[in-house]
Chain A
Amino acid sequence: MNMPGLGAWFDYTVNGIVIGNIYAMLAVGLALIYGVANLVNFAHGSVYVVGAYVGWAAITYLGTPLPVTILCVVVVCGLVGVGIERLGLRPLHGSSRIAPLLATIGIALVLDQVVQLIFSPDPRAVPMQVPEWRIPIGGGTIGPLDLLIGGIGLASAAVLYGFLRFTKLGWAVRATAQDSDAAQQMGVDINKVNMAVFAIASALSGISGLLVGMYYNQINPAMSFEATLKGIVALIIGGLGNVPGAIGGSLILGLTESYGIALFGTSYRNLFAFVLLIAMLLWRPNGLFSGRSSLPPEPMTGTFIARSRPFRIPPWAVAGLIVAAALLPLLNNPYVLQIGVNSLLYGMLALSLTLVAGTVGQISLGHAALLAIGGYTSGLLAMDAGWPVAVTIPIAGIVTAGLGTLLVFPAFRLTGHYVSIATLGIGEIVSLVILNWSGLTHGAIGLGGIPPLEVFGYDLGSVEGTYWLCLVILVLLALLQLRLLSSHLGRSWRAIRDDSVAARSYGVSGNRYKALAFGFGGFGAGISGAITAHSYSYINHETFNATLSVLALTMVILGGLGNVMGAVLGATLLIALPEAFRGLAEYRILIYGLVLLLLIRFRPQGLMGTV
């Protein structure tokens, strides 16, 4: 590490502010929505993409000048925002607080996919509509777009401030943000307020998509996730729901990234962003710009546990299903069997997640990281240490249980949305550490030539062999999980989920029992990751990515949170159905998104019921 000179530090600072500027436009909208609707809007980045493409289409097909382009973007994105509020928020009033968050994930999947279907995934250039002069500053230059983006960021914060302070609707918004019940009693139309806020925030997000697209002269549908992620990190730094704080948080994020690059190199950039996120969640969950350092009283109590009476399958039927599954290889159709293997591997992941997210109520958005830890542990032990696969797989389970629990342990004191955001961040950190710790993990090259599945000399590398192995492990894990759920652990876990304060008052320690759940869940997920690694023979840091975490969560919700049979069913359905409809391949992600949305709206207890 060599220290940059003073002039370079100035440049790094300017660069940090330039990129922070861009994050700020996203974070301001997110903060506004959070402030009023108490919702971390995961669809925000998708609206940003919509804005970019609407602007692109207006310029390209209609030849609009900048003000008209912006007007088009504002109108379309404002309407999209209204739509999000109508579909994702309003119908979910009265259900748990995490439900709208999950709904916005579903909306994001749908929006991204619709944009991609209409405009193709090809990157496109957005014609520059502002003059192209540049001001030299330090070693570099900034242009009118930098100023415009910064100006719009600040102006929108100022306009919002004025709107919130001095208009009737703004007063209603503030009242709603303070206490929506009280505001409602005072005659505030909450729905109107929410709708206005979503429209404003979405229009803002759309404008930033357009301007950022112009700035980089490039837009593509895949840029939404990164935008959402960075916006949320900036939001947490600045303090949820704090609009000026969001701008400050964005600048701090930009500077952190820039200085991180200066000191350690580019590949550490996001690592710094996410470490900052976790540090903020742990030490200043209200953000840097608020007085208090404790969580607001009961921030998001309640979990996504719909009250239901679970559908109980009689033991003979379960036994019948196991026998039927065991007989599947007799069909002699390796393709079906491979789908079976995939379902079983996902089933293990879903079992793990349904325990953590369903039974204990910790909605994890980073569960795929556990697969990665398991896969790398087993792969590295088998390749670099030369241990037999029969030994490395169980060890991978144990290591994942331990390491996974340790990583998430600091987040145990968080609740609700904070847990989801923290686990998302931890998942990204795991992936980035794998990428950067090349001495251990082979870095970006990944692990190639992982030895095939083999247990005590029996070759299980064939699809039949893998299927048998996975089936046996899944059945054992499921039975074990059912047994634990019927013990005092089951009721302790569920007590923590239903009311952690009351549980603690009766001696049920949140830390201890969350750790046990993550430990047991980590074991199953680690095994799943390890088997995956050996059957693929090659994995890298992207094999187990954030999309997979969202897919696993969809499976678990589909089956019914906390429901063991439901998790297996959810995994099987979401793996098998898309295979059955391969012809509709282009619409697959769209369908996932719609399934998630419809479930949250109409059947939050899932197919089998929550437990």
Chain B
Amino acid sequence: MSLRRRSILTGTAGALAAAAIARPSFAADSVMVGVSGPLTGPNAQYGAQWKDAFELALEEVNPSAAHKVQYQFEDSQADPRQTVAIAQKFVNDSRIIMELGDFSSTASMAASPIYQRAKLVQFGFTNSHPDFTKGGDYMWSNSISQAEEQPSLADYAITDLGRRRLGVIHLNTDWGVTSKNLFVSAVQSKGATVTLAEGFLPNERDFRSTLVRIRDSNPDGIVIIAYYADAATIIRQIRTLGLTQTIIAVSSVYSPKLIELGGDAVNGVHTLSNFFPGEPRAEVQRFVTAFQAKYAREPDNFNATAYDTMVLVSKLVNTYGTTRAAIREGLPQVESPSVIYGTIKFDPATRRVSGAQYKKLVVKDGAFAMFQGGTPA
């Protein structure tokens, strides 16, 4: 986060001053969306990633748009007690016509009853919890649906990589467990076996004993359902323990950070991503180039999802109108260009997007590359 890497001396004073003037002035042709997300606390890095992507998206779409989008970012620390207060703030601020976030499903879903009651769209763009959009017809999400990703991942492991016995290590949270369950049934429907599934707690660092357990279930592939930071640690320990099985990981490990944190150990790791900077598609290249120009680093999945979301917001207000009702009416119909999906189009019944395109990737010589087939590393 180069933007967030402040020098020690100027950091505090600068941030104080910035906070004092952070509230944007509100122009007549502007529309305001509320963002509820973590800027402090254990998930603060994700809020920072959103901000970067939002800024970039708005710089691109606003100049040519009739209605310029602005956002008000409230720090929730992804804490449900704060998201409910923020929700009341947003629903009672008549300028705000749509809400984005929060980061964790726990935090988002606590606020859902308030948004639903106030008929303000809550757009939980990272909320993959299957119950999130069941909270009401104002809960929408373009987050990657695990129901789609997990069969693709199973397919990658079984069809492309020829694995028959898979050991799974997953984050023991709502997201991790949902993903794991979907993955297990996808594997079984393809006639392969999950030898063992082990859930770990957030903040755990030591996976050696877990990996011995998985090793002894005798798999020919190890599947990791985790975020990049944990995945990097797990992969390093897999190799430290001398395990040589093929490693396949979910798309949320796709981040330049995986390589930074994983070092040499992550070479040969397979993953999927619906976003890959190396993909030649025009939306992707435009986004990657612009992001790199602005922030001097490669974007990752979280950046791409947040970017897509802000582009979608602009599309909605400029096509369907600038009221809360217009947003709600526009969502079932909207088609918005997307880095992740190509085009975002919602299924009005589930209020989610389907049809994400998965790129099969493999880490090669310290970089992600498109998987070209062949025997696994």
Asked if A and B touch directly (CB within 8 angstroms), the answer is yes
Contact in complex: B229, A12 (CB < 8 Å): no
B347 is an interface residue with CB less than 8 A from chain A: no
Q: Mark B7-23, 1 if CB is under 8 A from A, else 0.
A: 01001100110011011
Q: Which residue of A lies closest to B175 (CB)?
A: A444
Known: A139-B241, A267-B201. A448 touches B209 (CB 8 A): no
Contacts of B20 in A (CB 8 A): 583
In the bound complex, how far is the Cα of B172 from the Cα of A579, in angstroms? 32
Contact in complex: B233, A339 (CB < 8 Å): no
A595 is an interface residue with CB less than 8 A from chain B: no
Looking at chain A's contact residues, is the secondary structure mostly helix, strand, loop, or mixed?
helix
In the bound complex, how far is the Cα of B23 from the Cα of A125, in angstroms? 35
Contact in complex: B212, A536 (CB < 8 Å): no
Known: A141-B241, A589-B41. A582 touches B74 (CB 8 A): yes
Known: A218-B261, A538-B105, A583-B20. A116 touches B242 (CB 8 A): no
Contacts of B215 in A (CB 8 A): 139
In A516-557, which residues have CB < 8 Å from any B CB?
535-540, 542-543
In the bound complex, how far is the Cα of B210 from the Cα of A16, in angstroms? 11
B39 is an interface residue with CB less than 8 A from chain A: yes
B127 CB, nearest partner CB in chain A, Å = 11
In the bound complex, how far is the Cα of B114 from the Cα of A339, in angstroms? 13
In A583-607, which residues have CB < 8 Å from any B CB?
583-589
B319 is an interface residue with CB less than 8 A from chain A: no
Contacts of B12 in A (CB 8 A): 117
Contacts of A136 in B (CB 8 A): 242
Q: Which residue of A lies closest to B173 (CB)?
A: A444
Q: Mark A105-130, 1 if CB is under 8 A from B, else 0.
A: 00000000100111111111100100
Of A82-90, A257-265, A282-290, the stretch lying at the interface with chain B is: A257-265
Known: A262-B213, A334-B92. A218 touches B229 (CB 8 A): yes
Q: Mark A135-151, 1 if CB is under 8 A from B, else 0.
A: 01001110100000000
Contact in complex: A258, B209 (CB < 8 Å): yes
Of B78-86, B273-281, B354-362, the stretch lying at the interface with chain A is: B78-86
A268 CB, nearest partner CB in chain B, Å = 10
Contact in complex: A444, B199 (CB < 8 Å): yes
Contact in complex: A444, B241 (CB < 8 Å): no
In the bound complex, how far is the Cα of B45 from the Cα of A122, in angstroms? 5
A469 is an interface residue with CB less than 8 A from chain B: no
Contact in complex: A15, B209 (CB < 8 Å): yes
Output the residue of B5, B80, B200, B232 with the most chain A CB within 10 A: B80
Contact in complex: B172, A118 (CB < 8 Å): no
Contact in complex: B19, A583 (CB < 8 Å): yes
Known: A4-B216, A448-B129, A543-B80. A123 touches B174 (CB 8 A): no
Known: A342-B85, A444-B176, A446-B174. A536 touches B261 (CB 8 A): no
Contact in complex: B40, A585 (CB < 8 Å): yes
Contact in complex: B201, A269 (CB < 8 Å): yes
B63 is an interface residue with CB less than 8 A from chain A: no
Contact in complex: A449, B134 (CB < 8 Å): yes
In B89-130, which residues have CB < 8 Å from any A CB?
89, 91-92, 105-106, 109-114, 117, 129
Contact in complex: B212, A140 (CB < 8 Å): yes
Q: Which residue of A lies closest to B206 (CB)?
A: A19
Q: Mark B204-244, 1 if CB is under 8 A from A, else 0.
A: 11111110110110000000000001001100100011100
Contact in complex: A8, B212 (CB < 8 Å): yes
In B303-351, which residues have CB < 8 Å from any A CB?
none
Contact in complex: A266, B112 (CB < 8 Å): no
B263 is an interface residue with CB less than 8 A from chain A: yes
B369 is an interface residue with CB less than 8 A from chain A: no
A525 CB, nearest partner CB in chain B, Å = 15
Q: Which residue of B lies closest to A255 (CB)?
A: B209
In the bound complex, how far is the Cα of B178 from the Cα of A190, in angstroms? 56
Known: A120-B4, A217-B232. A584 touches B19 (CB 8 A): yes
In the bound complex, how far is the Cα of B87 from the Cα of A335, in angstroms? 8
Known: A217-B236, A443-B177, A448-B131. A222 touches B261 (CB 8 A): no
Q: Which residue of B lies closest to A581 (CB)?
A: B19
Known: A449-B134, A463-B114. A121 touches B44 (CB 8 A): yes
A38 is an interface residue with CB less than 8 A from chain B: no
Contact in complex: B261, A444 (CB < 8 Å): no
Output the residue of B1, B77, B209 with the most chain A CB within 10 A: B209
Contact in complex: A535, B45 (CB < 8 Å): no
Contacts of A11 in B (CB 8 A): 209, 212, 241
Contacts of B241 in A (CB 8 A): 11, 139-141
Contacts of A333 in B (CB 8 A): 92
Contact in complex: A445, B178 (CB < 8 Å): yes
Give the contacting residue for B240; candidates A141, A443, A536, A542; CB below 8 A.
Answer: A141
A511 is an interface residue with CB less than 8 A from chain B: no
Contacts of A587 in B (CB 8 A): 15-16
B11 CB, nearest partner CB in chain A, Å = 6
Output the residue of A123, A223, A535 with the most chain B CB within 10 A: A123
Contact in complex: B84, A537 (CB < 8 Å): no
Contact in complex: A585, B19 (CB < 8 Å): yes
In the bound complex, how far is the Cα of B307 from the Cα of A58, in angstroms? 35
Contact in complex: B113, A216 (CB < 8 Å): no
In the bound complex, how far is the Cα of B216 from the Cα of A139, in angstroms? 10
Contacts of B147 in A (CB 8 A): none
Contact in complex: A265, B198 (CB < 8 Å): yes
B42 is an interface residue with CB less than 8 A from chain A: yes
Contact in complex: B134, A266 (CB < 8 Å): no
A565 is an interface residue with CB less than 8 A from chain B: no
Q: Which residue of A lies closest to B6 (CB)?
A: A118
Q: Which residue of A lies closest to B180 (CB)?
A: A444
In the bound complex, how far is the Cα of B173 from the Cα of A445, in angstroms? 7
Contact in complex: A116, B212 (CB < 8 Å): no
Contact in complex: A141, B85 (CB < 8 Å): no
Contact in complex: B40, A266 (CB < 8 Å): no
Contacts of A589 in B (CB 8 A): 40-41
B59 is an interface residue with CB less than 8 A from chain A: no
Contacts of B178 in A (CB 8 A): 445
Contact in complex: A335, B172 (CB < 8 Å): no
Q: Which residue of A lies closest to B81 (CB)?
A: A342
Contacts of A310 in B (CB 8 A): none
A291 is an interface residue with CB less than 8 A from chain B: no
In the bound complex, how far is the Cα of B106 from the Cα of A102, in angstroms? 29
Q: Which residue of A lies closest to B90 (CB)?
A: A335
Q: Given A121-B40, A444-B176, A461-B113, list of 4 further CB < 8 A pairs?
A: A11-B241, A216-B205, A257-B209, A334-B92
A–B Cβ pairs within 8 angstroms, 23 of them: A4-B212, A11-B209, A12-B212, A15-B208, A15-B209, A116-B44, A121-B45, A122-B1, A123-B261, A140-B241, A217-B232, A217-B263, A218-B233, A218-B261, A258-B209, A261-B213, A266-B210, A267-B201, A269-B200, A338-B89, A445-B174, A446-B106, A588-B40
Contact surface of B with A, Cβ cutoff 8 Å? 1, 4-6, 8, 11-12, 15-16, 19-20, 22-23, 39-45, 48, 74-75, 77, 80-81, 84-85, 87-89, 91-92, 105-106, 109-114, 117, 129, 131, 134-135, 169, 172-174, 176-178, 198-201, 203-210, 212-213, 215-216, 229, 232-233, 236, 240-242, 257, 260-263
Contact surface of A with B, Cβ cutoff 8 Å? 4-5, 8, 11-12, 15-16, 18-19, 22, 113, 116-125, 128, 134, 136, 139-141, 143, 212, 216-218, 220, 222-223, 225-226, 257-258, 261-262, 265-267, 269-270, 333-335, 337-339, 341-342, 435, 443-446, 448-449, 452, 461-463, 535-540, 542-543, 579, 582-589
Leading 10 A-B pairs by shortest Cβ distance: A448-B131, A538-B109, A585-B75, A536-B110, A338-B88, A15-B208, A121-B44, A140-B241, A261-B209, A222-B42
